[in-house]
Structure formats: structure tokens, C-alpha cells
Chains A and B, each alone.
Chain A
Amino acid sequence: MRLGEAWRVAFDALRANRLRSALTMLGVVIGVAAVVLLVGIGTGAKQEVESEVQGLGSNLLLVVPGEFSFGAAPTVSRLTLNDVDGVARVVGDRRRVAATVSSGELARVGNREVFVTVQGTNETVPLVFDRPVARGSYIRRSDVDTRRRVAVLGSSTARQLFGDRDPLGRQLTVAGVRFRVIGVFEETGSAFGVDRDEDVHIPITAAQRLLNTQRVDALAVKAPTTKGIDALGTRITDSLKERHPGETFSAVTQTQILGAVGKILGLLTLVLAAIAAISLLVGGVGVSNIMLVSVRERTREIGLRKAVGARQRDILLQFLIEAVVLTSVGGVVGILIGTGGAVLVRSVSPLPAVIAWWSVALAFGVSVAVGLFFGVFPARRAGRMDPVDALRSE
């Protein structure tokens, strides 16, 4: 029999059983759609985080206590403001060093209360983190030196606390202490449904008194150029180790963060794909099951075909093609649904799903392979059927 003929016969048989064919396909459709959608979400998340980190700028160095690795236990910071001065001397420019201490606190204006991230910082933040102030001004060095109780609000915080009123010059309380608003940041937008404009910046000295601590959580250094940034990092950590014998410090660059984040999100994508692959596998088992039923049901047809001259191979091919047609059509429908689902997710949720073309190709390839793999067993059973038994069956 010619191959084209085998296709025609298979399509005829599938058409004759439309409902069953459609339901059998459904398992594969769901599996493939899940693969495309979940991988799309994972890939989108990875891209978003990477662009986020890239936004930091390639010449930013983050100095943190302890080892830099995800999953490492958080270290209690032993950094103090004296270290900030020390690092500033290593860098050679105080304006390029930002220190932060942060804490979640309740902010209040009148009877409006909002939970915010309080960042105690120094005057260098707008330069180091590229975060411009839209209205008013940022914290000045004199504010830091005199522990002045002034605050710069993220745009969301400003809206939540003051509504339409102009917050400049007004008072708010943070953890029960009064601060005067001197500036409002430009909006930076949100990522993954997390609003990054929900913060309040106050002078680090004021923050330390508020939190009753001497600690500095982290330092950020804006290197003049990308070149030599690793060497600068080493010089900084060496100087810190000298000041704190027995402690470790890490200076990480954007590249290192990208690597670590990419690893984690790549793993996440892989896990999502694996979960989706399981549902594809279940769909394949469904195909196998239905093909077995179909072979049994069409025993007499098989007997007849053999009686009139079909070889084992012809029968095998017929049923194998039926299985592959089921799964590959299911694959195409699944890809369409998965792609549509990704577009929907992107438009109604904060998850930035994108279609990863490798996952589409993979999903289609796998669905064809699933048809071959799960179709072979029933098809061989059909091919090997004894024509006498097959014709006799009722």
C-alpha cells in the first residue's frame, strides 16, 4: 500500500468517529497548551527580571555582608556608617556610594494608614540608582548629618497617603514619628504585581534612630566605568574585611545577579515544563487507550483487510498514522490555545507571558512522538491479528 493511501484510510476512520477522536485529542490538546503556556510564563518572568536587573546599569556594585548566593542564610549585617566612609575612600568619590537600611513600617497621614518599605539612605540615591525625584528635592547631605526628619515618597505611597493633595511640606508619621515630606519620586512602575513605588526614603541616620540600630544593610557603588569593576569590588570587600576581621562581604555586579537569577528562573521554567509534560504524557496514555479500544472494535475490519490482501505492515501503518494524526492535530490545537492563553495572561494579569518558539516546536515534536510511542503498541497488536480470528469475532 502507498503511504498516501494509508493517510487517507486513517483520516476516514477518524472522521467516522468524530466525537471520540475529538475527546481523545483533548488530552493532548490540554498537555500541549499547558507546556506552551507555562513555559511562556516562565520565560516571560525570566526576561522581565533580567531586564529589571539590567536596568540597574552595568556599572553598579552591590556590597552585602556574607556570601552572595541564593539560598544562603541571611547574614546579620555588621556594616556601619563608618564603613560607608571607608568604602567612599576606596572608591575615591563619596557621591558614588549609597548606603541603605530598610524596614517595613506603618506610615500614616490623618486616618490613612499604609504599610510601606522605609529606606534609610543617604543623599546619593538619585545618582547611584538612577531614581529621579519628580517634585521637590531629595534628601541632602546636611539632612543625613543632622538626622533631619524629612521624607521622600514613592509615587504610590504619595497617592495613597495624600490622595489629590500636594504632599510637599506636609507631615506624615512613620512608626509613630513625624516626618516632613520634601519630595516625591518619579513613577517607576510595577513588576510581577509588586508596586515598586510603595516606599518612603528618609535619612539613614534618622532611620537608624527610628529602628534603634547602628547597622547598614547594604552598600551600592556606582563605578565610573564598567571596566575594572570586579577589581574595585575586590578592593572594597578587602577593605571591609580588614575592618571586620572574620567576616565575609560580597560585591556583586549586574552580571553576577543576572547569572544567579537566570539560573533560578531557568529552573522554574524547567519545573513548569516538566509538570506540563506530565499532562502531555497522560494525554498520550489516553491516545493509547482509545487506540486499543479502536483496534478491538475494528477487529472485523482488520480481518477483512487482511483477507483481501493487507500485509501486517499495512495494518500497522494505518493505526499508527491514526494515532499520530490524533496527537499532531491535538498538538496544533494545543499550541493555538496555549498561545492564546499566554496572550490572555499577559493582558489580564501581571505575569509577562511570552511565547517561546522553542517550546512551540518542542511541544509539536513531542506530540508527534507521543503519537508514535503510544500508537505503536495498539498498531502492532492490530497488525499481528490473525485474520481467521478477526473475521470470526462478533
Chain B
Amino acid sequence: MTAVLEAVDVVKRYDLDGVSVEALRGVSLAVEEGGYVAIMGPSGSGKSTLMHLLGGLDRPTSGTIRLGGVDVATLSSDAMAKVRNETIGFVFQSFQLLARTSALGNVAMPLVYRGVARRERRERAAAALASVGMAHRLDHRPNQLSGGEQQRVAIARALVGDPGVLLADEPTGNLDSRNGAEVLALLDRLNTERGVAVVLVTHDPEVAARARRVVHVRDGELREDPPAKPRRARPRKAAS
């Protein structure tokens, strides 16, 4: 089993006005293909830092980060952008949709940076929106959509480039419980049906419980829950 994302003995230190703060102190974590991992921890624990490192948005102070098997230390920032584009789909708490662009335009955006032609972009974006149940909202702008719909558009954007892993940072944080449940169900379905690995960053134990594997970040260190028994049967048990 290969790891889509891997952190080995990662340390991240920030210098804030001459004071050195260690956000992560030797963290190792591997996310397998098709895996479903929840990263939990209170705010300030370092879980956001870990997510940024796993997402290739930042570089560790020491240790190794591999994205799709490639050590980021060997990559220029432009090369990292390319790896992010091809390997990782981001889902953010606040959706991060461009207000001036339609759902279709938002979803197509990652393909712009891959150099995909306009017509193909639109086709693939429409397909991605259909796969999250938003086929009827292609030309709506974010402010014409509900929160749950906006997050589904954001998920479609994360999916459009066919990444190996979705990195979701508190994806239900800005949603009411019904919409939150729908978004989580969508992530479950993508994981099981499409085999996309999901990394879910959350502070909510109920959300984390959907993952097959839960790790806790506390004071910059990682602690793993014993592999819990799945709470319900899964159609396909691909991961270990």
C-alpha cells in the first residue's frame, strides 16, 4: 500500500519576533491510498500546521513530507504548486469560492492552472458538479447558493482535477447540522465509491468518528486512537 501523503518525523518551528515556537515536534503520519483519516485536536494544537504541511502549502523545518511519493524538499515552490494541483483537493471551512464567478467557473479553476482547454474544463467541471448533486446550479454564483450548496461546489472543485486525496479542513464548521451531515455523507461516498483518500481535520468527535482512523494532535505531538471498530458496515473495505 503506497501513501498519498506522508510525514516522517516532521518538526515545524515558527519564529515570532525572535521567540521560537514549536508547532510540531516530530510528527509522523502516512495517509494510504483510499484511506480515511481524521486529524483531531483543539485549536492551537498544531493540527492546522500539520494540514498545511500535508497539503504541500508549507515546508517543514526538519523531517520529510512526501506528496504522492515526492519529497517536497526537492521541489521548487512552482513544482509544489504543480504537485498540489495534481495530487490534492482542498476543502476549506469557509468554502473559499470566488464571489464574482459562477459555480462552474469556480470548479473549473484548478484546471486553468493545468492548462486544460476551456471547453474541456467546462465539461469536466460540469461532471464534477453533477457528481456532488449540483448539476442544476452550474451558473449560480456563490451568493445565490446555500452554505451546504457552496460547500458541495467547493468539494466539486477539489475533485475536478482527479486528486488522490481530499484535504478537508473543518468542512462542516460553517454549516448547520443537516447540511453538515450531507457534506460528510458526500465525503464518505467519494471515499468509498471513488476510492479518494480523505483527510478530515476537525475538533468535533462526532465528525471524526466517520473516519476509519483517528489521530489526535496535542501540543505538537501525535497520538493515535487504537483502530476502532467501524461503527457501521462499509460496502468495500479497501483500506487496512
Contacts and interface: CB of A to CB of B under 8 A. Distances in A.
Interface of A: 1-2, 5, 9, 12-13, 15-16, 300-301, 303-314, 386-388, 391
A150 B99 CA distance: 87
A259 B58 CA distance: 68
A256 to B, nearest CB: 64
Interface stretch (B61-69, B107-115, B193-201): B107-115
Contacts of B239: none
B98 A313 contact: no
B57 A1 contact: no
Contact of B57 (A13, A310, A311, A388): A388
A21 to B, nearest CB: 12
A388 B52 contact: yes
A1 B112 contact: yes
Given A306-B81, A307-B84, A5 B57 contact: no
B100 A309 contact: no
Contacts of B86: 309
B85 interface: yes
A305 B113 contact: yes
Given A301-B98, A388-B58, A391-B96, A310 B77 contact: no
A163 to B, nearest CB: 71
A39 to B, nearest CB: 39
Interface in B85-104: 85-86, 90, 92, 96, 98-101
Contacts, number: 64
A309 B84 contact: yes
Contacts of B99: 16
A322 to B, nearest CB: 13
B115 A13 contact: no
A308 B90 contact: yes
Contacts of A313: 78
28 contacts: A2-B115, A5-B112, A9-B112, A15-B100, A16-B100, A301-B98, A303-B96, A307-B90, A308-B84, A308-B109, A308-B110, A308-B113, A308-B157, A309-B81, A309-B82, A309-B85, A309-B86, A310-B113, A311-B78, A311-B81, A311-B82, A312-B77, A312-B81, A386-B58, A387-B58, A388-B57, A388-B58, A391-B92
Q: Is the interface of A mostly helix, strand, loop or mixed?
A: helix
A90 B96 CA distance: 93
Contacts of A311: 77-78, 81-82, 113
Contacts of A1: 112-113, 115
Nearest to B77: A312
Contact of B96 (A2, A9, A300): A300
B142 interface: no
Interface in B45-62: 52, 55, 57-58
Nearest to B82: A309
Nearest to A6: B112
Nearest to A16: B100
Contacts of A15: 100
A16 B141 CA distance: 12
Interface string B166-182: 00000000000000000
Given A5-B118, A309-B82, 15 more contacts: A1-B115, A5-B112, A16-B99, A304-B96, A304-B98, A306-B81, A307-B90, A308-B85, A308-B109, A309-B85, A309-B161, A310-B113, A311-B81, A311-B82, A386-B58
